[in-house]
Amino acid sequence: MSRRPAVVPVSTYRLQIQPAFTFDDAAARAEYLAALGVSHAYLSPVLAPAKGSQHGYDVVDHSHLNPEAGGREAFDRLSKTLQGNGLGAVADVVPNHMAVPTPASDNAQLWSVLREGPESPFASWFDVDWSVPDRAILMAVLGQRIGQVLAAGELSLDTSGAEPVLRYYDHVFPVRPGTEDLPMEQLVDRQWYRLAHWRVADEELNYRRFFDVDTLAAIRVEDPAVFDASHALLLELVRDGSLQGLRIDHPDGLADPRGYLRRLAAATSGAWVVVEKILEGDELLPEDWECAGTTGYDALQRVGGVFLDPAGAEPLSTLYAGITEQSRPFAAIVEEAKREVVEHGLYAEVHRLVELLAGICHDDVNLRDHTRRGLHESVVELLVAIEQYRAYVVPGESAPAEAVAVLDHAAEVGRNRLPAERHDTLAVVVDLALGRVATGDPRSAEFVVRFQQTCGPVMAKGIEDTSFYRWFRLSSLNEVGGEPTRFGISPEEFHAFAARQARDWPATMTTLSTHDTKRSEDVRARLSVLSEFTEEWAAAVTSWRELAGAHRAAELDARTELLVWQTVFGTWGASGPITADRLLAYLQKATREAKDHTTWTGPDEAYESAVERFATGVLGDEAVLAAVSEFVGLTAEAARVAVLGQKFVQLTMPGVPDVYQGTEVVDLSLVDPDNRRPVDYADRQRRLTALDAGGAPADLDDEKLLVVSRTLRARRTDPAWSVGGDYSPVPTSTGNALAFARGPVEEPSVVAVATRLPVSLNRNGGWGEHTLTLPEGRWRNAFDGSEVDGGSVRIADLLDGLPVALLVRTT
């Protein structure tokens, strides 16, 4: 099928729409975005979210645009302003779930279902287990058990409004018609929902949710009526030209991602659509998905990897083990974390899978001897062993070879963890998950789908949200979709990846920073240089630990301390260290996500106080900060090379590059909400104006802005190479240069050259007489205006000022 929609963005610029940054605020930046060189504003979810939402992924009303961002009128002004500046727009879409807001009445569909149960016209919207005839929807919002709440009189019936409602502090619930006159204890028991203590959710929740977030209830867009209703406004905006593309959030949560994308392609006449798909290892995007590609985490890993020195893996491992006294491999940490998630946080989802299996096996005489316990153990081991977000199996179709390989590998791992008497049961579960057992039971198809929908949350919560916060050999590798054990990639590996993208997914998105990344691209770039400064880093950390001894309480974990040092170093800016409020907020999130000393639901005050004492002590200790500043200075030039190099490569490689808000200059943000802080656009505008007037870059911020703006403008001037153009490596005499051409192989339009691993380069005498072989023709460097003829060219001449060069053909 064609991978090239009629309209493909040349580049995008991500804007986080929220009450503090409205559609009108976005419109005020249109002129700047046009000057920067982007072709499309990329908007975070634009539909109406829960009140006060800072991110928009908690939609409550698909029929209205975000009222706190200005609603439809402000959006139309934004669209008109963008078009007046030659820009288009693409938007984030959240098809998997809606918010369970407080009050619940803000979600009209959910409110109807809570009031009327399966008779509600919206009952098909939510993935609810209606097998229990009453009390079907678990509302786990109570601060104590229901009996205690009733005894304390904390529930009240309010009949003052248009309809009677049940109130519990800020929570409001509808009352099932005909039950409003019952005594409170009976009234509560007769509703279509069950009010329960909040801790009950992980064990007894009976609606599908987003990962383990109870306040995000999954919706069934596989139902055509639900798809049509939840997408009507977005499709209207695509048809009238207000939007030219869509970014799809978490497609792996859907019952049928392929079917959803086909329906979306038909409804949008094949508009540009990219999917937030995490590809693990060498996993490839399914070829039968009707989309332009992913949102770019696969590119992020390769771009970052090429600026990492593989030789640093062993010494950094030794340092980590020595400081933390932990030598367990990362794989063991992942297994432990996934097992915790499966057995605790996602127990309700696993229980539902086991119930399906038990029912299927009970009703089939050939399968009846597989016990519930054996089925549970087999499901747990499969979920723990699966190494990607899901295998794509459609009920009624033969499982593709890739899905069979994924499940077979997981089964092999599971067999080694299960006693021999469970192996037959494990085989049955695998066959049912792959749809290879013809039971004739409709629950078999449901199991195929639900099993796949559970794999993703286990991966995300077990790896990204737990393991990545427990292992810090080099924290820049602990990124969404990343593999912390994969330490760097060669130029040859990068060329192979980029060539495949140009061939198979030429309009895919590429990215380095998103609203979900654990660290911004520039923090990761700063940390990546440690792979070349392993001895110096080991000496520095040893010294810093000695200097900071007075701030270290006995409770402080050495792993957390090492995370503090990496974070302070990685976020050190031109004005010095990160502020205490930002660092403390990050460390609270990091330690609670790790869940081995403190958690969100059970904070350990002593441990968190120890972390806070150490972090504030470090930030207030002049001797410590002076030592860190010295090390920052030592590594500054290498960090500059990585910051500029990885951004430049992302902007010139195959695909549609996204620039996350503010990252056109150096941005040292951490995980959300730190990466949603206000952006100083006035400063960026001033800098760009000065550069455009011929001013020389004054600092690294200016240098990055120069690279970003000139590269984006070159893409926009000649989209033939920038979107869909061929990719071909350019020969160099050294592995410290990454060079490639874009455009027709016989006569490419541009050549990109980037420096990598500058420390090893300098140790070997610098560029010296190293050369690269330019295609024939005359070439102009977009960054400084210098020109050079094709053929063998000294790299030192090309990279005299900046560590990157964009050579544009002039003849």
Q: Which CATH number is 142's domain given? A: 3.30.1590.10
What's the whole-number mean pLDDT along residues 352-372?
95
Q: Is the same domain home to 349 and 438?
A: yes
Residue 135 has what pLDDT? 61
First to last CA, the chain: 35
Number of domains forming the structure of the chain: 3
Q: Is the same domain home to 119 and 211?
A: yes
Classify residue 140: in a domain, yes or no: yes
Q: What would the 3-class secondary structure string for 448-479 be?
A: HHHHHHHHHHHHHHHHHCCHHHCCCCCHHHCC
Q: 136 φ, ψ to 5°?
A: -75, -40
For residue 199, give its domain range: 104-217
Q: Is the same domain home to 165 and 28?
A: no
Whole-Å CA distances, 605 to 13, 560, 735? 41, 15, 50
- Using alpha carbons only, what angle is made at residue 210 by residues 206 and 211, rounded to the nearest 5 degrees? 90
Whether the full predicted model's pTM is greater than 0.85, yes or no, is yes
Cα(438)–Cα(432) distance, integer angstroms: 9
Classify residue 613: in a domain, yes or no: no
Is the Cβ–Cβ distance between 666 and 701 less than 8 Å? yes
Classify residue 586: in a domain, yes or no: no
Classify residue 715: in a domain, yes or no: no
Classify residue 742: in a domain, yes or no: no
Cα(298)–Cα(166) distance, integer angstroms: 48
Q: Is the same domain home to 86 and 235?
A: yes
pLDDT at residue 666 above 60? yes
Cα(428)–Cα(165) distance, integer angstroms: 48
CATH number of the structural domain spanning residue 291: 3.20.20.80
What's the whole-number mean pLDDT along residues 792-804?
97
Classify residue 245: in a domain, yes or no: yes
User: Pseudo-torsion of CA 38, 706, 306, 560, nearest 10°?
Assistant: -90
Q: Is the same domain home to 235 and 291?
A: yes
Q: Is the same domain home to 174 and 206?
A: yes
Cα(186)–Cα(1) distance, integer angstroms: 59
Residue 2 has what pLDDT? 42
- The domain boundary, picked from 166, 196, 217, lies at 217
Q: Is the same domain home to 230 and 190?
A: no
Classify residue 62: in a domain, yes or no: yes
- The domain boundary, picked from 217, 235, 257, lies at 217
Q: pLDDT category, 89, cuts 50, 70, 90?
A: very high
Q: Is the same domain home to 60 and 131?
A: no
Residue 809 has what pLDDT? 96
Q: pLDDT category, 335, cuts 50, 70, 90?
A: very high
Q: Is the same domain home to 343 and 449?
A: yes
Q: Is the same domain home to 130 and 246?
A: no
Cα(236)–Cα(245) distance, integer angstroms: 12
Classify residue 457: in a domain, yes or no: yes
Q: Mean pLDDT in the chain?
A: 95
Residue 128 has what pLDDT? 86
Q: Is the same domain home to 374 and 455?
A: yes
Q: Which helix (H) or strand (E) holds 65?
A: strand 59-65
Residue 133 has what pLDDT? 56
- The domain boundary, picked from 172, 189, 217, lies at 217
Q: Is the same domain home to 170 and 185?
A: yes
What's the whole-number mean pLDDT along residues 103-127?
94
